[in-house]
Structure 1
Amino acid sequence: MRLLLDSFWRAVAYCMRPRVIVLSLMPLALMVVLAAAFGYLYWEASVAWMREALDAWPLLSSFWGWIGGLFSSDVPALLAPLVVVFAATPLIVLVSLLIVAGLMAPPLTRLVAERRFPALEQKKGASFIGSVARSLGLTLLALVALVVSMPLWLIPPLVLILPPLIWGWLTYRVMSFDALAEHASPEERATVLRTHRLPLLAIGVLCGYLGAAPSIVWASGLLFAAAFFVLVPLAIWIYTLVFAFSALWFSHYALDALAQLRAQRAAAALGAAPDAAALAAADPAVPALGTPSLPPS
C-alpha cells in the first residue's frame, strides 16, 4: 500500500512538470496537422460525395424539401460539411492518440528513471518491436472481450464494471511491461509482475475509470454542436493527460519495485557470503567463498 500511494502522489506531481504538459498537448498539434492535410487533399471530394449521398436517400428527399421550404435554403448542402466533420473527427482523434501514446510512454519512463533511479542498471529486457507486437495482441484480445461482454452490459451494474475492468486489465498488462522494458531483465520483469500483480491491476482499473471521464466531455461536444470545436479538443487533452498520468504511475511503481527487488537480492547475496566464510572456517574441507579448491595430492 505504501508503494501504491507513494507512486500515485509522485505521478500527480510529475503531471505538473512543463515537459509532461507539453507532451500532453502533442495530440492537439497533431490533430491540426492531420485536419489541415485532410482538408487540403480530400475536403471538396468528401463534401461532394456526402451531398450526393444525402440527395440519393429516397426516404429523406421529402424531408429535405419540407425543411428547405421552412428555411429557404439547400439543406443537404448545409449538412454535408457538418456530416463530414463529425465523421472525420473520431478517426483523426484515434490516429492522433495512437501516435502520441506510442511516443509519450518512453520519454515519461525515462523522465522517472533519470530523476529517481539514475543508478538503476538498464538490462534491455524487451525490444521495441516485441513491445509493440505484444501491445497490439493484447489490445485485440481486449476488444474481443468487450464485444463478447456487450450482452452483459444490459444488466445495469455490469455496464459500470466490465468495460473499465477490461480496459484496466489492458492498461496493466501494456504499461507495466513498457515501464520495465528498458531496465529489467526478462526474469526480473516476470518476478515484479507476479509479485505485484494485484496492485498493478488496481492501478490499471483506476486508470480505466479515469479514462472514462473525458467521454462525458466528448458526449457534451456531440450534444451541444455549437461547442463541438471547444469541447472535443478539451476531451482529447484530458485523454492525453490521463494517459500521461497512467504511464507515470506505472513507471514510478514498477521501477521502485524493481529497485527494491535488486536491493533485496544484493542484501541476500551479501548475507550469504559471511555464512559461507564461517562454514569454511568451521570445516576446513569446505573452501572459503572465492577460494579455488585444490585437488588432493
Structure 2
Amino acid sequence: MRLFIASFGRALLAQLHIRMLWLTVLPFIVSLGLWAVCLWLGLQPIIDWLQGYFVSHSMFGEIGGMLAWFGMGALKTVLVPLLAMWTLLPLMILTALVFVGLFTIPAIARHIGTRHYPMLDKRHGGSVAGSLWTSLWCFAVFTVLWLATIWVFLIPPLAFVIHSLLWGWLTYRVMAYDTLADYASAEERRAVLHLHRWPLLAVGTIAGALGAAPTLLWLGGVLSVILLPALAAVAIWLYVVVFVFTGLWFQFYCLEALLRHRSGQAPDGPPVANVIDVTPR
C-alpha cells in the first residue's frame, strides 16, 4: 500500500512539470485531427444506419417504454446519436491511448528512468511488436466485454463501476508492458506483473474512473450539434491528460517494483534507494 500511495503522489507532482504538460500536446493534436475527420465522414452514416435499424425492427416503442420505466424517457429523442457516440467511444479512447503510448510514454520513461532510477540496468525484455500485440489482443477482449455490458448504461452507478474496471484492466495490461519493456527482462516483467497485479489493476481502475468526466463530455455532444466539436475536443484532451498521469503513475510504481524485485526486497517495504526526489526541475 505504501508503494501505491507513494507512486501516486510522485506522479501527481510530476504531472505539474511543464515538460509533462507539453507532452500532452502532440497526442492531442493527432487524436483531434483523426477524430475530426472520422466524425465528419462517419458519424452521420452511423446515425442513419441505427435510425433505420430501430425503425425497421420497431424498437423505439420498446426502448422508450424501458427508458420511461427508469425515469429517463427524455433520452428517447437522442437515443440514436447517443448510441452512435457510445459505440465510437472505445475507439476514441483507444486512439488517445495509442498516441500517448507512441509519443509520450517513451519520453516519460526517459525522464523518470534517467532522473529517478539511473541505477536500473536496461534489459530490453519488450519490443514494439510485443507492445502492439499486447494492445491489440487486450483491446479485442475489452471490446467484447464493453459491448456485452452496454446495457448497464441504463443503471448509471453500475455502469460507472463496470466500465471503470474494464478500462482499468485495459490500461493496466497495456501501460505496464510499455513501462517495463526497456528495463525488465521478459522473466522479470512477468514476475513483477504477477506479484503486483492487484495494485496495478487498482491504478488502472482509478484512471478509468478519472475518465468519467471526459466520457460525459463526449456523450454530451449529442445534446447540441453546435457544441459537439468543442465538447469532443475537450474530451479528447482530458483523456490524453488522464493517460499521461496514468503513465507517470505506472512508471513510478513499476520501476520501483522492479528495483525491489532485483534487490530481493519485500514488494511493499521501504525504498531500496534514495529515489524519493520528485520536485520538478
**Could you say whether these structures have the same fold, taking a TM-score greater than 0.5 normalized by the shorter chain as the test?**
yes
Question: Aligned residue for 2:58?
Answer: none
| Cα distance in structure 2, aligned partners of 1:257 and 1:34 | 36
Quickly say closer, same or farther: Cα 1:35–1:115, change in 2 above 3 A.
same
Unaligned runs of 5+ in 1: 58-82, 266-297
2:224 aligned with 1:202: no
State the match for 2:268 in structure 1.
Answer: none
Q: Distance in 1 between matches of 2:146 and 2:17?
A: 35
Higher relative contact order at CA 8 Å, sep ≥6: structure 1 or structure 2? 2
Partner of 1:212: 212
Return the TM-score normalized by structure 2.
Answer: 0.69
Cα distance between partner residues in 2 of 1:34 and 1:156: 30
Give the deviation of 1:112 after TM superposition. 1.2
Q: Counterpart in 2 of 1:3? A: 3
Pick closer, same or farther for the CA change 1:115–1:27 going to 2, 3 Å.
same
1:122-161 to structure 2, matched below 5 A, reads 122-151=122-151, 154=154, 157-161=157-161
CA contact (8 A) 1:30 1:96 kept: no
- Displacement after TM superposition at 1:93 (Å): 5.6
The Cα offsets for residues 139-189 of structure 1, whole Å up to 9 and x where unpaired, read as: 101111222233455556432222111111111111111111110111211
Amino acid at match of 1:185: S
**Aligned AA for 2:170?**
L
CA distance in 1, matches of 2:141, 2:94: 20
User: For the Cα contact (< 8 Å) 1:152–1:159, is it kept in 2?
Assistant: yes
Matched AA of 1:248 = L
The structural deviation recorded for 1:103 is: 2.1
Could you report, residue by residue, the CA deviation over 1:233-281 in whole angstroms, capped at 9, with x for unpaired residues?
222111100010111101100000101111227xxxxxxxxxxxxxxxx
SS in 1 for 2:167: helix
Question: Offset at 1:125?
Answer: 0.6
1:261 is matched with which residue?
A: 261
Q: Relative to structure 1, is the Cα distance of residues 144 and 256 closer, same or farther in structure 2, using a 3 angstrom cutoff?
A: same
Q: SS where residue 125 of structure 2 aligns? A: coil
- Provide Cα deviations, 1:13-39, integer angstroms capped at 9, x if missing partner: 111122221121223433565589x69
Scaled by the length of structure 1, what TM-score is found? 0.66
Q: Which deviates more from structure 2 when the two are superposed, residues 156-165 or residues 196-205?
A: 156-165
Aligned residue pairs total 224
Q: Residues 26 and 222 of structure 1: is their aligned pair in 2 closer, same or farther, counting only changes over 3 Å?
A: farther
| CA RMSD of superposed structures (Å) | 3.2
Structure 1 runs (4+) deviating above 6 angstroms are none
- CA distance in 1 between counterparts of 2:95 and 2:214 reads 16
Contact 2:31/2:236 (<8 A) preserved: no
3-state SS of paired residue (1:125): coil
Q: What SS does structure 2 have at the residue aligned with 1:161?
A: helix
Give the counterpart letter for 2:258 in structure 1: L
Q: 1:176 — aligned with what?
A: 176
Q: CA separation in 2, counterparts of 1:150 and 1:217?
A: 18
Q: Tell me: CA distance 1:146–1:30, structure 2 relative to 1, closer, same or farther (3 Å).
A: closer
Whether the aligned pair in 1 keeps the contact of 2:15 and 2:245 (CA below 8 Å) is yes
Q: What letter is aligned with 1:192?
A: V
Q: How does 1:215-294 map to 2 (within 5 A)?
A: 215-264=215-264
Q: Quick one: percent identity of the two aligned structures?
A: 38
Task: Kindly provide the amino acid, as one letter, of the partner of residue 256 in structure 2.
Answer: D
SS of residue matched to 1:160: helix
